[in-house]
Amino acid sequence: MPRPRPATDWEAWSLRAVFMALTAIAVVFLIGPSLIVLLTSLTASQSLRFPPAGLSLRWYVALLQADQMQAAAWTSLVVAVWTTLISAVLGTAAALAISRTRSALGKAFDMLFMSPLLLPALAFGFAALVFVYQLGLRPSIPLLVLGHVVVCVPFVLRTTLAALTQLDPALLDASASLGASRFMTFRRVTLPLIGRGVGAGSFLAFMASFDNVPVSLFLADERTEVLPIHLWQQIETNLDVRTAAASGLIVILTLLLMVLAERFAGLTRQMR
């Protein structure tokens, strides 16, 4: 016989309290570091102490003179833009084909294209370097872009496939029966409906490429330096406040891009 529920359900209350408390701790722990690096970068002094001694934007102004850092940021941007474009086109095409088939071959392709997410990226970066040398080539920007595409395309593939499964096939049949060609159907029906999925995936691919260290470490040539590796060397050699300012800038830009991606591509919904 079921027990009657008491007026105050202590058990329900305790479960909620424990889970809410763990979530609250996690949230502090998730956003705390970004806030602290932002505040530290606003310091007026030479040292990286928190709380900062006086507020000023002098270290941000100092970034204007940081030529090496700017060159590295530019290289990273160029690589990330190319990587995103190639990943978006190849990833969407592959996703369209994979979503339409139920064959074992389609499954195998899906697994192959997603596997860079699970495999150690550093081992892949090293393998790519060994391979490039065997071909008699040397690391270069185009090879770096290809390496980035391999590790970034899974993001596009995942969100686009998720968007495609939501697509009603009746719409495609309707378009075809009204005389639209396959390309026309893709451009006028499919693409507008999966656009947010492709957009969210492209955003993730861009961020992953801009931030990539393990592949860039092996495939960038000696003269070109990408931003994350440049910043890493700064942190290891001289921990100065300019690094904090660059970090602060990256945090702000990331936040802005994420708000835009959320607004136009529904980022948090696409990632589920």
- CB 170, min distance to another protein, A: 19
- Please, what is the minimum distance in Å from the beta carbon of residue 132 to another protein? 8
Question: What string marks each residue from 165 to 204 as x (binds another protein by CB under 8 A) or -?
Answer: -----------------x----------------------
> How far is Cα 212 from Cα 131, in angstroms, rounded to an integer?
20
Sign of CA dihedral 127, 133, 139, 141: negative
How far is Cα 199 from Cα 87, in angstroms, rounded to an integer?
Answer: 11
Q: For the segment 207-266, give every residue that binds another protein (CB under 8 A).
A: 207, 210-211, 213-214, 217-218, 227-228, 231-232, 235-236, 239, 243-244, 246-247, 250-251, 254-255, 257-258, 262
Chain positions 53 to 82 lying near another protein, rule: CB under 8 A, are none
As measured in angstroms, the least distance from the Cβ of 109 to another protein is 6
Burial grade of 104 (CB within 10 A; 0-12, 13-18, 19 or more): exposed
Q: Which of 146, 167, 180, 193 binds another protein (CB under 8 A)?
A: 146
Task: Compute the Cα dihedral for 158, 159, 165, 168 and give only its sign.
Answer: negative
Closer by beta carbon to another protein, 40 or else 224: 40
Helix runs in the chain, H state only: 10-41, 58-62, 67-100, 104-114, 121-134, 141-165, 169-177, 182-185, 191-210, 216-219, 227-237, 241-265, 267-270
Is residue 7 involved in binding another protein (CB under 8 A)? no
Out of 37, 69, 72, 220, point to the residue binding another protein (CB under 8 A): 37
Residue 2 binds another protein (CB under 8 A): yes
When asked if residue 29 is in the footprint of another protein (CB under 8 A), the reply is: yes
How many Å apart are CA 180 and CA 170, to the nearest integer?
14
Nearer to another protein, 24 or 174 (CB): 24
Give the rounded distance of the alpha carbon of 269 from its chain centre. 15
Q: How far is the CB of 228 from another protein (least distance, A)?
A: 5
- Say which residues have a Cβ less than 8 Å from residue 38's Cβ, sequence separation at least 6: 248, 251, 252
Q: What are the residues whose beta carbons fall under 8 Å from the beta carbon of 266, sequence distance 6 or more?
A: 196, 200
Q: With respect to another protein, which residue has the nearer C-beta, 79 or 231?
A: 231
Site for another protein in 110-139 (CB under 8 A): 112-113, 116-124, 126-131, 134
# residues contacting another protein (CB under 8 A): 96
Q: Find the part of the chain contacting another protein (CB under 8 A) among 8-16, 59-67, 168-176, 190-198.
A: 8-16
Residue 46 CA, distance from chain mean position: 33
